[in-house]
Chains A and B, each alone.
Chain A
């Protein structure tokens, strides 16, 4: 988990993809999660190509039936992962299918 200084430093760039639109290039459904993501399993992670050509790796959210390659997605603000009792609650951009 990030400490406050790291969260503060990341915040300068964490939200730059809010409301940006992109397309899914590849995706996977994770059934065996990493620490901090256990309550979200299973969850989808995708490589998304934005309209400006930038490719990013991020989580897909919200009422996902069967996302597939080529689906259009938009960046939305979400909590990143479950924090432990003393950590800052971190937020970032996840992606909703449109």
Chain B
């Protein structure tokens, strides 16, 4: 696969009281187009990742809203795959370009979440789980807590190891002017932050966030007419699995992610050891530890050691979630998968500011829907 990224933009993530969903979509579109130095009329197709729009804003037919905001009449496809909506939107855009039918595509991800109460949003987010899980009174923290409890039990990791993920990602976010939480936290603060669903505490959980991100993609022939050297998406792999956690064989791995990663490495022609940095789906701290193992960076049951000994922190062997991840940069659901690749693109271009890693050549993005019902992995290279 060879799809060029020629523009990228992320809005501030946070509680953006004065921004509507339409405002966020508009800002991300204009930002990405400006970064690509292209007008909207040169875009031939657009994909929009969004999970909750109809529920939180009563707005369906979001494809037409996007078209209206951009002043275009091109095909626009809204993609919903829970928290992997953005990643799947990107994956579909790659397929559109690879088909040869389109030379340029706009990928957007946006979510407006803070107009609702926490209980209402928790209920809405549980739409990504099964009806049995909803009827059991589960929340998403509860679902991932079921996975965390099993992991701690099976592999001897401690709750402080989970907290270590939060500490690391908050540190990275403190260097990111777009992050929701730009302050560091300590292990002690995480451990005392109040239990949400045992063993996960408040600071083990990603927040409720507004935000949007955009990418402009192009075919190699289009990109190379503008400049010889480009950054390319070399792999885009999308797998699904059961909606229900209880229907899986194991609670300490996400099979759809393992399959997507395995095929992505083959498609891109790179080994896990060649990945310089990754943006992974840390919706809860346990999810980052599982990701490190599912992606093949660490053996099963050893992911937590990498967090303990600093290997995945800025300055370590393979920094993970330099944006601050979902935990500290924020998690506007539909935007996350797109923002992950925006971050990787900025890192590969050397324009990531204070959180810039020195050896950015191969970046990997890992985006999960629900408890693993959807997984998308992208690999981008210089």
Binding site for B on A (CB under 8 A): 25-38, 40, 43, 45, 47, 55-59, 69, 80-81, 92
**7 nearest A-B residue pairs (beta carbon):** A28-B145, A55-B246, A37-B137, A29-B198, A26-B146, A35-B123, A32-B196
Is B136's CB under 8 angstroms from A59's CB?
Answer: yes
Binding site for A on B (CB under 8 A): 118-120, 122-123, 126, 130, 132-139, 141-142, 145-147, 149-150, 153, 194-200, 244-247, 251
Contacts A28-B146, A47-B251 hold; do A69 and B153 have CB atoms under 8 A apart?
A: yes
Is A57's CB under 8 angstroms from B246's CB?
Answer: yes
Q: Choose one: B135, B146, B200, B246; the contact of A27 (CB below 8 Å).
A: B146
Is A32's CB under 8 angstroms from B153's CB?
Answer: no
Please, which residue of chain A has its CB at the minimum distance from the CB of B134?
Answer: A34
Is A30's CB under 8 angstroms from B142's CB?
Answer: yes
- Nearest CB in chain B: distance from A52 CB, A: 14
- Nearest CB in chain A: distance from B242 CB, A: 11
Known pairs A28-B142, A57-B130. 9 more at Cβ < 8 A? Answer: A27-B149, A31-B194, A34-B126, A35-B122, A35-B123, A37-B137, A47-B246, A56-B132, A57-B133
Q: How far is the CA of A70 from the CA of B139 in the complex (A)?
A: 23
For A26, the chain B residues whose CB sits under 8 A away are 146-147, 149-150, 251
For B120, the chain A residues whose CB sits under 8 A away are 35
Max count, chain A CB within 10 A of own CB: residue among B138, B142, B147: B142
Q: How far is the CA of A46 from the CA of B244 in the complex (A)?
A: 13
- Nearest CB in chain A: distance from B334 CB, A: 21
For B126, the chain A residues whose CB sits under 8 A away are 34
For A28, the chain B residues whose CB sits under 8 A away are 142, 145-146, 149, 197-200
Is A57's CB under 8 angstroms from B197's CB?
Answer: no
- Nearest CB in chain B: distance from A75 CB, A: 13
Q: How far is the CA of A8 from the CA of B80 in the complex (A)?
A: 29
- Nearest CB in chain B: distance from A26 CB, A: 5
Is B122's CB under 8 angstroms from A55's CB?
Answer: no
For B122, the chain A residues whose CB sits under 8 A away are 32, 34-35
